[in-house]
Structure 1
Amino acid sequence: MQDATHYDVLGIPRTAGPDEIRRAFRREARRHHPDMNDGATSSRYLAIAQAYEVLSDPAERRSYDATLRTPAASRSRSPGGRSGRVFTTAPRPERDPEPVWPHPTDPMPAPAGRVHLKGPAPARWWFPVLGLALVVGALFVPDLWVQGLAVVVGAALIGVFVRRRGRLVPAVPAHEARTTRSWGEPGTGCAAGTEPLRGSPDVCRNTAQVLTAELGDIPGLRVFHGVRIPDAGVVDHVLVCGGKVAVVASRETATPSLGWWRGRISGGTTEEAPVSLDTVRRTNSALGSVNVAGWILVYGPGATVSNRGAPPYVRLQTAGRGIGEIRNWLLADNDARVVDRVLLHRLTELLVTDEDR
């Protein structure tokens, strides 16, 4: 059914109205649903869902009909579920509850400027020493005004030290936070998946190279490989940029069409997603007040994906398009020149170590 149109998939003429399209979708969906066929026709079901997604939207249908009127050699195949667009518009809430993320077609430029470090100001050791010296020295000064001023300043320095000392938060040293761009070893803790997705250290290492090449010009971007999220397992890559955190898993697939079914990855068979809504929530809980989103990048010849029915804040995408989406999301409404040293320190504590392997 390589050359079949969406109308052929639903078994309707090109002049079919909205009601006829809806009835045809329900009929074909019941007939080819994976639960009714032991998962054997899941790819057929995804094709039916994609056809209904396009034909039920008047604007999408007009655009698709226009491609049918062009010569076959000039038609561009759709890599996703919305006629080839890269998530440039917000989907209808009643049909697809995905979050509205700004994903322009063209990559947004990285902001220029130096990296700004964010973190707690340490309580210097000389604060109490100088404060105590001022208090003791005031005892030998005859002028009462000078004595009083010395005692006040000395007590203030000692008070600042005591107050900050009780609230000190560990942080990555400023030099390390400014110069180090990545932590951890790519492929560490990459759990092998099953069909339709398989994970391997080689795929994780390849993704790490692509992330460095395509996103390396973002000033505040820092990347962690092999991070153990509490109660959520190990994730392949965690990208930190300003106030945003992207959790990324990379997998290879031999299945041409991948989609979602009840929060699981579907493509011939179904399996747990390597990044889920639960992963996003637990990452946010572990790291504090940051904006977290997740991506599953897939490699495979001719692979296509659909995010219809995907959980919020998680995207399934081919590797090339996924890197562009991550870049645009990180740079949109975010100061990409800020490096949070406290956040980096927390992630270094969560890195998979030799004992964890």
Structure 2
Amino acid sequence: MPVHVPSHYEVLGVPVTANESEIRRAYRRAARAHHPDHGGDVVEFRRVTLAFEVLSDPKARAAYDRSYFTSAPQRESPQPGSAAPTGAGTFTARAAPRSGGQRNLAGEPAVYVPPFAPGSVPLLPAEIAARAEHGVPRRRGLFGADARIQREQRTAALIRRRVLTAIPSARLLNGLRSPADSTHIAHAVLAGYRLALVDSMLVPRGNYAWDGEHLIHGSRVVAPPRLADQVRYFQNLFPELNVQGYILVQTPDEALHEPVIDVRRGAEGLIEPLNAAKFLRELTFFLSSGPQPNAVFIPALARLLTGLH
């Protein structure tokens, strides 16, 4: 099971929304508590110092946030036989076994992990963690921006109406930066310990064939968005989550069962494009069938929010 690596925010005990003065005050408190001259631990003091060096520099902090907390990580080699730090993320991304009479928790009210407690400083303020949707489609480039924004708005609206209402813990994030390059991920949906990355495409109505790489409609051959690499990147960044990718195929009239997509025998490879009906069915099942689907996992949500455009 992956050992939780505390972020710079956790080391200083501040939320990801903390301003410069809040970070400085938190550093002074932590430095006094862990300074070796006052009987503190050298390793912890080193962590506090590194955290302050990064978060007190606007450019370094922005780069750290863009990396989803993986640059200058707070890693220390564990001693043999040592336990994971308190609050360690030891969840693995596996579907919970179900017995015939076990109810699905996905429709239950959301619970927060770790819970908000009086006197504690969470990574996210409660009012931000409670929002079901974060971020908006952003204009990128000079050509086709309006079409992309319209498509992403339609995708966000579909998820908002049909997924967020069914799974109270689900959190929709629009416009994430890629951890690998300057590209973006249109949408991400986090519920429990599962994360879905979503992109979309717009095609005319009709019957299509999926051969594992392209959508084929008569003589028309269309390559879907390349989302598989981003899924791998995010899975490496969030080993405590199960990350999957989904490509929604839209038509101009927004019919749920259009276009009709026939999957050819042996078609494997890239992420299969789905019409709206199949997309909603598979996305909802994925998010609701994981362990603790009614949980809002605050550490993961906080990291994702720093990656918004």
Q: TM-score range by the shorter chain?
A: 0.5 to 0.7
Deviations 1:191-224 (A, max 9, x none): 8999xxx962112111211111111231210000
C-alpha distance in structure 1 between counterparts of 2:234 and 2:141, whole Å: 18
C-alpha distance in structure 2 between counterparts of 1:295 and 1:192, whole Å: 26
Cα displacement (A) at 1:329 = 1.6
Q: Which residue of 2 aligns with 1:220?
A: 169
1:338 and 2:286 matched = no
Q: For the structure 1 residues 229 and 221, does the alpha-carbon distance in structure 2 shift closer, same or farther, using more than 3 Å as the test? A: same
Match of 2:201 among 241, 244, 251: 251
1:113 and 2:105 matched = no
Q: Which has the higher contact order (CA 8 A, sep 6+)?
A: 2
Q: Which residue of 1 aligns with 2:187?
A: 237
Match of 2:269 among 285, 296, 311: 311
Higher helix share: 1
TM-score normalised over the length of structure 2: 0.54
Do the aligned residues in 1 keep the contact of 2:224 with 2:273 (CA within 8 Å)?
Answer: no
C-alpha distance in structure 1 between counterparts of 2:141 and 2:225, whole Å: 9
Structure 2 gaps of 5+ residues are 1-94, 96-102
Q: Which residue of 1 aligns with 2:124?
A: 172
Do the aligned residues in 1 keep the contact of 2:194 with 2:290 (CA within 8 Å)?
Answer: no
Q: For the structure 1 residues 329 and 273, does the alpha-carbon distance in structure 2 shift closer, same or farther, using more than 3 Å as the test? A: same
TM-score normalised over the length of structure 1: 0.48
Residue identity opposite 1:228 in structure 2: R
Q: Which residue of 2 aligns with 1:181?
A: 132
Deviations 1:110-167 (A, max 9, x none): 6343322114989969xxxxxxxxxxxxxxxxxxxxxxxxxxxxxxxxxxxxxxxxxx
1:294 and 2:245 matched = yes
SS of 1:306's partner is strand
- 5 Å-filtered alignment, 1:1-357, equals 111-119=106-114, 171-177=123-129, 179-185=130-136, 187-188=137-138, 200-215=148-163, 216-231=165-180, 233-254=183-204, 256-261=206-211, 263-267=213-217, 268-270=219-221, 272-300=223-251, 302-308=258-264, 309-311=267-269, 314-352=271-309
C-alpha distance in structure 2 between counterparts of 1:276 and 1:306, whole Å: 20
Cα displacement (A) at 1:251 = 1.7
SS of 1:111's partner is helix
Q: For the structure 1 residues 318 and 262, does the alpha-carbon distance in structure 2 shift closer, same or farther, using more than 3 Å as the test? A: closer
Residue identity opposite 1:310 in structure 2: E
C-alpha distance in structure 2 between counterparts of 1:219 and 1:122, whole Å: 21
Q: For the structure 1 residues 304 and 337, does the alpha-carbon distance in structure 2 shift closer, same or farther, using more than 3 Å as the test? A: same
- Runs of 4 or more above 6 Å deviation: 120-125, 190-194
Larger gyration radius, structure 1 or structure 2: 1
Do the aligned residues in 1 keep the contact of 2:212 with 2:272 (CA within 8 Å)?
Answer: no
Do the aligned residues in 2 keep the contact of 1:189 with 1:226 (CA within 8 Å)?
Answer: no
Do the aligned residues in 1 keep the contact of 2:106 with 2:169 (CA within 8 Å)?
Answer: no
C-alpha distance in structure 2 between counterparts of 1:324 and 1:238, whole Å: 16
Cα displacement (A) at 1:270 = 4.3
Q: Which residue of 1 aligns with 2:60?
A: none
Aligned length: 197
C-alpha distance in structure 2 between counterparts of 1:205 and 1:180, whole Å: 18
Deviations 1:307-327 (A, max 9, x none): 442326x33111122112211
C-alpha distance in structure 2 between counterparts of 1:199 and 1:319, whole Å: 18
Q: For the structure 1 residues 291 and 113, does the alpha-carbon distance in structure 2 shift closer, same or farther, using more than 3 Å as the test? A: same
SS of 1:200's partner is helix
SS of 2:245's partner is strand
C-alpha distance in structure 1 between counterparts of 2:239 and 2:116, whole Å: 19
